[in-house]
Amino acid sequence: MIISAFCIIDDALTSIGGRIRRAGPTPTVSDAEVITMEVIGEFLGLDHDNHLMEFFRGQYGHFFPGIRRIHRTTFVRQAANLWRVKEQVWRRVLDLMSFEGGFAMVDSIPMPVCRFARAYRCRLFRPEAAFGKDHVERQTFFGFRLHARVCWPGVVTEFAIEPANTAEPEVALSLAAGTTGTLVGDRGYSAAWLQEALARRRVKLIAPHKSKKNDPFPRLSRTIARIRYRIECTLAQLVGRFQVKRVRTRDLWHLASRVMRKVLSHTLMILLNQKAGNSPSIRLSTLLA
C-alpha cells in the first residue's frame, strides 16, 4: 500500500510540472515522500505529527531514509508549505478515479475549536471562527464547519472550511460549481433561491422540506434520507478514521493543510481500493485485510 501510494503521488507531482521551490537547497526528504507519509499516517490514525514521525522512523526508515536525518519541525514545516501542492495532487488523483459525476450530495460537519465553556476566552482563530449549531449533538459550538460535495460511490470532489454561522445553502452554491445532473441535500439546503440558482446551471436540487413537521411529502423525504446514507458514511469516515474534527492548529492556514491531507488520504485509499478490485470501494478497511 505504501509503495502504491508513493508511485501515484510521485507521478502526480511529475504531471503537475514546474518548480515547487524558487530557491533554497533540495530537501532531505522529497516532497513525494513527505506527502506519502502524511497520507498513509492519516489512514492509520496517526493524526499527531510526533506519532507520525516516530512511526515511520521506527517501522519504515528503510523506505524513507531521510526521515531519520531531519528534525520534527523541519518535517512539519515542509508538509505545511506543500498544502497547495497537495491540493493539485488531489485533483490528479480524482482524474484517475471512477465515480458518478452527475450525481452528487452535499453536507457539512462541525469542527469545534475548543470546548463551549472556554469559547468566550479562547483566542484561537479570532476573528475567523464563529458560533454555530451542531444539530446532531443539539448544542452550540465555537469553530468552523467542513462542507463537502460527495459523488457516488462516496468520493469527496469538493470541500470548503467556513465559519460555523455560515448558512449551508450559501456554501452549496460554490460547492456545486462544475456539477451537472442532480445534487442531493438535507433539510438545511431547502431554499427556493438555491434551487433556482442551481437550475440556471442545469443542476437539479433535491432536498426534503425544511420543516419535518409540515413536510408535505414525507415518503419522498424518507427516500432522500436513504439515498444520503452514502455521504453520511463518507463524513463518518473523515470524523472517525481521519479525525477531521480535531483542530490541532492555531491558524486557518495550517488547518486547511491538515484537512487537505485528510481528504487526499481518503480519496487515495478509495482509488487503491478500486485498483485492487475491492467492492464496495468506500469500505477502506479492506485495504488492511
Q: Are residue 52 and residue 84 in the same domain, yes or no? A: yes
Q: Are residue 239 and residue 173 in the same domain, yes or no? A: yes
Q: How far apart are CA 168 and CA 196, in angstroms?
A: 16
Domain with 41, as residue range(s), is: 2-94
Per-residue pLDDT of the chain (289 residues; tens, 9 = 90+): 889 999 999 999 988 876 677 667 788 889 999 999 999 999 998 888 888 888 998 888 889 998 888 888 888 888 888 888 999 999 999 999 988 888 889 999 999 998 888 888 888 888 888 899 988 888 899 999 999 999 988 899 999 999 999 999 999 988 888 778 889 888 888 888 999 999 988 899 988 888 877 788 788 788 888 777 777 888 899 999 999 998 888 888 888 889 999 999 999 999 999 988 887 788 888 887 6
Q: Are residue 115 and residue 235 in the same domain, yes or no? A: yes
In a domain, 269, yes or no: no
Q: Which phi and psi angles does 226 have, rounded to 5°? A: -70, -35
Q: Please tell me whether residue 20 adopts helix, strand or coil conformation.
A: coil
In a domain, 9, yes or no: yes
In a domain, 205, yes or no: yes
Q: Are residue 57 and residue 196 in the same domain, yes or no? A: no
Cell triple for 162: 467556513
Query: Residue 109 in contact with residue 121, Cβ under 8 Å?
Result: no
Q: How far apart are CA 68 and CA 57, in angstroms?
A: 6
Q: Are residue 89 and residue 148 in the same domain, yes or no? A: no
Q: Which of 137, 226, 134, 138 shows the shortest CA–CA distance to 184?
A: 226
pTM for this entry: 0.90
Q: How far apart are CA 34 and CA 16, in angstroms?
A: 17
Q: Are residue 105 and residue 21 in the same domain, yes or no? A: no
Cell triple for 137: 449533538
Q: Are residue 127 and residue 168 in the same domain, yes or no? A: yes
In a domain, 222, yes or no: yes
Residue found under cell 507521478: 11
Cα 145 to Cα 106, 130, 166, 176, 261: the distances in Å are 13, 10, 8, 17, 17
Q: Are residue 13 and residue 115 in the same domain, yes or no? A: no
